[in-house]
Amino acid sequence: MSNQAELILDGKSYQFPVIVGSENEKAIDIGKLRDLTGYVTYDVGYKNTGVTKSAITYLDGENGILKYRGYSIEELAQKSNFLEVAYLLIYGELPTVDQYRDFDAAIDKHSMIHEDVKKILDGFPSFAHPMGVLSSLVCSLTAFYPESLEPNPTPEQIDHSIIRLMAKMPTMVAWAYKKSKGRPVNYPINSLEYCANFLHMMFANPTEKYIVDPVVSEALNVLLILHADHEQNCSTSTVRIVGSSQASLYGSVSAGINALWGPLHGGANQEVIEMLDEIKASGIKTKDYIEKVKTKEVRLMGFGHRVYKNFDPRAKIIKKACDDILSKLGVNDPVLEIAKELEQAALNDPYFVERKLYPNVDFYSGIIYRALGIPTNMFTVMFALGRLPGWIAQWKELRENKEPIGRPRQIYVGNVSKTYVNIENR
Ligand code: CMC
């Protein structure tokens, strides 16, 4: 393989270095392109653009492979727990027993949030979407911990921000939910492990005892692991680009939460359930719905992916988990059958086959969330809870590698040379 790429422009030849990643991914390093040629590249939606060298997550879309720090997603989902995976993503290695105990203890120590956060929460109407509430609460941490605004934080300061965010996020997510229900918030119970503590804050109420069901806690653990990182997706790229201006971890993650909210990204899990409920309520046959998708009247939410062109390994795990969990919990959700019918119809239809459209992580996850008692408008918030360690790891990597500020170019196609005319003469 050549380690140089040749570009011929206006009859002149230029050489650019080829770089190869540890999984043999190849890229042309065009860092000097504009200086040498005066040209920039044009790549709307960044379909061909590598924006960083990252050692966190590897994704092979053609072969349906996803690895965190070299460990396959299948193995982590089966054997690990969310906190351990968070440590792996953020610090690069699986923790030893002592490292895990210290990480867990540090998170417990910081799980409370400032009482004044309740006043911010009170300012929202109860019908506010919890994603907006969550992004505001995360950003509000910059006010309670102004040292997080330090543009060049020491490793200790970075670590402090990381622990605080990991610790407070489940509390903020549960409080956003309680707010939407108009119910009193619960404080964290540090003797419970991460998922059980979160479920307790979500579902306990003053009128009856809440005992965490281990089936629910384990299902949540797997879902959070599956969502924990996904390299340079829309929200993660947002976190990195915001962080590249030396913005704080909290500000950067808050921006990432907003990017995740959109229906083409993390918001798709809410859209999928709404679509399935609508299909059920209207009684439309799945084959007729597929026809509407093919004529582009509607999009099949939870299908398709920018990178996966064969299958999404997370969707495979979730589909299986969906059957297991619903049967363990004794839940019979009729939309599961509709989802399976849609998947079957799509996988056998040339429209989907030719475009390489397969179920993604969001296709079945909402059905599990609903079986766990989580309401539809909280689905994307659950995605954010899971994605947090990935955002943190990517922000930390960017800062440690001292990457420059992100600042793309454009091709200007607007007016050239207009002359100003006073408003009364236009
Ligand atoms: N239903 C119907 N047609 C689709 C779909 C879909 N879900 N996704 C893509 N297509 C078609 C699209 O219309 C286009 O067709 P044509 O060539 O005739 O114009 C072709 O497939 C290529 O689509 P694209 O929009 O250019 O692909 P993209 O890589 O830009 O978009 C995507 C990827 C995920 C935004 C898109 O597949 C989509 O909108 N899916 C539905 C929303 C969704 O489930 N999002 C969650 C993604 S996974 C969770 C995450 O990490 O965010």
- State pLDDT tens for residues 63-97: 999 999 999 999 999 999 999 999 999 999 999 99
226 C-alpha to center of ligand 1: Å? 20
Instruction: Decide whether any atom of ligand 1 lies within 6 Å of the 301 Cβ.
Output: yes
Average pLDDT over residues 147-152: 95
Average pLDDT over residues 130-149: 97
Closest ligand 1 atom, residue 47 Cα: 29
pLDDT greater than 80 at residue 47: yes
Hey, which of 43, 48, 275, 306 would you mutate to test ligand 1's pocket, going by the most ligand atoms within 8 Å of its Cβ?
A: 306
Is 355 touching ligand 1 by the criterion CB < 6 Å?
yes
pLDDT at 13: 98
Return the higher-pLDDT residue of 311 and 30. Answer: 30
The CATH homologous superfamily for domain 268-371 is Cytochrome P450-Terp, domain 2 (1.10.230.10)
Q: Residue 424 CA to chain centroid, in angstroms?
A: 50
How confident is the model at residue 209, as a pLDDT? 83
**Position in ligand 1 atom list of the atom nearest CA 266:** 52
Residue % of the chain over a pLDDT of 70: 100
What's the 102 CA to ligand 1 centre distance in angstroms? 42
Assess contact for 302 and 263: CB atoms under 8 A: no
Separation between Cα atoms, residue 328 and residue 114, nearest integer Å: 38
pLDDT tens track for 314-358: 999 998 898 889 899 998 889 989 999 999 999 999 999 999 999
Q: Which residues are known to be catalytic? A: 305, 362
Average pLDDT of the chain to the nearest whole number: 95
Distance 59 CA to ligand 1 centre (A): 18
**CA–CA separation, 251 and 160 (whole Å):** 15
Inform me whether the pLDDT recorded for 420 exceeds 90: yes
Residue with tokens 């920018």: 306
9-43 confidence digits (pLDDT tens): 999 999 999 999 999 999 999 999 999 999 999 99
What sign for the dihedral angle of Cα 320, 237, 392, 72?
positive
Name the packing angle between helices 214-227 and 379-400 (round to 10°).
40
Angle at the Cα of 169 from the Cα atoms of 162 and 133, rounded to 5 degrees: 125
DSSP letter for each residue of 154-168: -HHHHHHHHHHHHHH
Domain boundaries, the chain: 4-66, 72-265+378-400, 268-371
- Residue 424: pLDDT band (50, 70, 90) is very high
pLDDT mean over 130-143 = 97
Class of domain 72-265+378-400: mainly alpha
Is residue 306 lining ligand 1, measured as CB closer than 6 Å?
yes
pLDDT value at residue 208: 84
pLDDT per position as a tens digit, 166-183: 999 999 999 999 998 989
User: Among 73, 258, 264, which residue has the most ligand 1 atoms within 8 Å of its CB, making it the best to mutate?
Assistant: 264
pTM recorded for the entire structure: 0.95
CA of 348 to the centre of ligand 1 (A): 17
Question: Which helix (H) or strand (E) element contains residue 327?
Answer: helix 313-329
106 in Cβ contact with 167 (< 8 Å)? yes
Strands (E), 57-164: 57-60, 65-68, 71-72
The pLDDT score that the predictor gives to residue 397 is 98
Cα of 114 to ligand 1 centre, how many Å? 41
pLDDT reported for residue 2: 72
Mean pLDDT, residues 131-138 taken together: 97
**Mean pLDDT of the region 261-290:** 95
Q: Going by CA atoms, what residue is nearest to atom 34 of ligand 1?
A: 305
Q: How confident is the model at residue 1 (pLDDT cuts 50, 70, 90)?
A: low
Q: What is the pLDDT of residue 323?
A: 87
What DSSP state is assigned to residue 405? P
